[in-house]
Amino acid sequence: MIEVEGLTKRYGDKLAVDDLSFTARTGRVTGLLGPNGAGKSTTMRMILGLHRPTSGTVRIDGRSFVDAAAPLAMVGAMLDAHAVHPGRTARNYLEALAATHHLPARRVDEVLELTGMTAPSVRRVGTYSLGMVQRLGIAAALLGSPGTLVLDEPVNGLDPDGVHWVRELVRSLAAGGTTVLLSSHLMSEMAQTADDVVVLGRGRLVASGAIEDVVAAATGTSVRVRLVTGSPAEPLTAAVSAAGGTVAERGDALVVTGLTSEQIGHAAASTGSVLAELTPQSASLEDAFFELTKDAVEYTTGGTGR
C-alpha cells in the first residue's frame, strides 16, 4: 500500500505537485492519470525518494522507503526506461542490480525470460529498440520480487502484443497481492488495466477512486430509452420527471439521466408505455478524462499559454 499525504513539490516559482493525497491499495492496480505536466512523474519520484518533497509524506506499507533494509524487494520501479548506461549489456545491468541485494544469479535469468529479453541480453543497451528498452526496465523493476511496483508509462513504445503482455502482467501481480501504481496519459489503456484511478491536473488531485465511480461521477450515467413506434412519450416523460430524472430528446429516443434503468422500467410499467429499448450508457474514460482535466491542461494547443 502506498499512502501519499499532503505531498507538495515546488521548483522555484512553479508548483509541480500541490497538496496531493491518495492511497494506492494492496492487491490493486492504481492508475495515475493526467495530461503532460500534471505532476505524475514528479509524484512517482517523490514516492521513491528521488526528489525531496517540499512538504508532505509518503509511506509504503506503513514505512518510509528510504530506511528500508531491502529497498529492491520493497519497491520495484521503472521511471525512465532509458535510464541505463548505453554501453552496458542488459545482463551486466541486471547483474549489478541483483548484486546489491545478494539476489541469486538465476533471478536475473528469470526476469530476462519473463520479459522475453534473454536473447538480446548480451548486447549493449544502446543498440536496443524502444520496446526492448521498455522490457528491460520492467525486468529491472521485477528483479527483487517487490511488494510494490511503480511504473511510469510502462506501455510507452510497446507494440500491441507488448501492451497486452504488460496489462496481463500487472493484473496477475496485483491478483497475487502486489500494490501496482502506474501512470499513463492513455485513458483507454487505463480503462483496461487499472482498478482505481487518481486523476491529476496541474499538480492537484482532480478525482480519485474506483475507475467506474470516477467515470460515472465525471460524466453522469445516462440511460437511452426508445418507445415502440406510435407509443406517446408524454406519460413516460412526466413519470420520469416526477421520479427525479431528467429527460432529453435525442432523435427518436430519450436520454434519461439521474435514474437507473430499473427505475425507468418501473415508470414505464406504471404509465403503460411500451419500451423498444432501455440501454444504460456508460461514458468512456476518455470522456471522463477530458471532462475532469479540461480546466487543468498545462499545454493547451493553440492557446496563449497560462
- 65: cell is 522507503
The enclosing H or E element of 223 equals strand 222-227
Min dist CB 59 to other proteins, Å, is: 14
Q: Which phi and psi (to 5°) does residue 247 adopt?
A: -115, 135
8 Å CB contact between 148 and 76? yes
| Residue indicated by cell numbers 493547451 | 300
Residues 6+ away with beta carbon under 8 Å from 27: 174, 175, 177, 178, 179
Query: Does the protein bind other proteins through residue 70 (CB under 8 A)?
Result: yes
Query: Does the protein bind other proteins through residue 117 (CB under 8 A)?
Result: no
Query: Does the protein bind other proteins through residue 140 (CB under 8 A)?
Result: yes
Query: Does the protein bind other proteins through residue 52 (CB under 8 A)?
Result: yes
| Residue from 5, 15, 19, 51 binding other proteins (CB under 8 A) | 51
| Residue from 10, 25, 101, 185 binding other proteins (CB under 8 A) | 101
Measure the CA–CA gap between 75 and 225, rounded to whole angstroms.
49
Query: Does the protein bind other proteins through residue 85 (CB under 8 A)?
Result: yes
Q: In the window 216-255, what residues touch other proteins (CB under 8 A)? A: none
Nearer to other proteins, 14 or 52 (CB): 52
In the sheet that holds 14-24, the strands lie side by side as 14-24, 2-11, 55-60
Query: Does the protein bind other proteins through residue 93 (CB under 8 A)?
Result: yes
Q: Which residues bind other proteins (CB under 8 A)?
A: 26, 45, 48-52, 61, 65-73, 75, 77, 79-80, 82-89, 92-93, 95-97, 99-104, 107, 110, 140, 144-148, 176-179
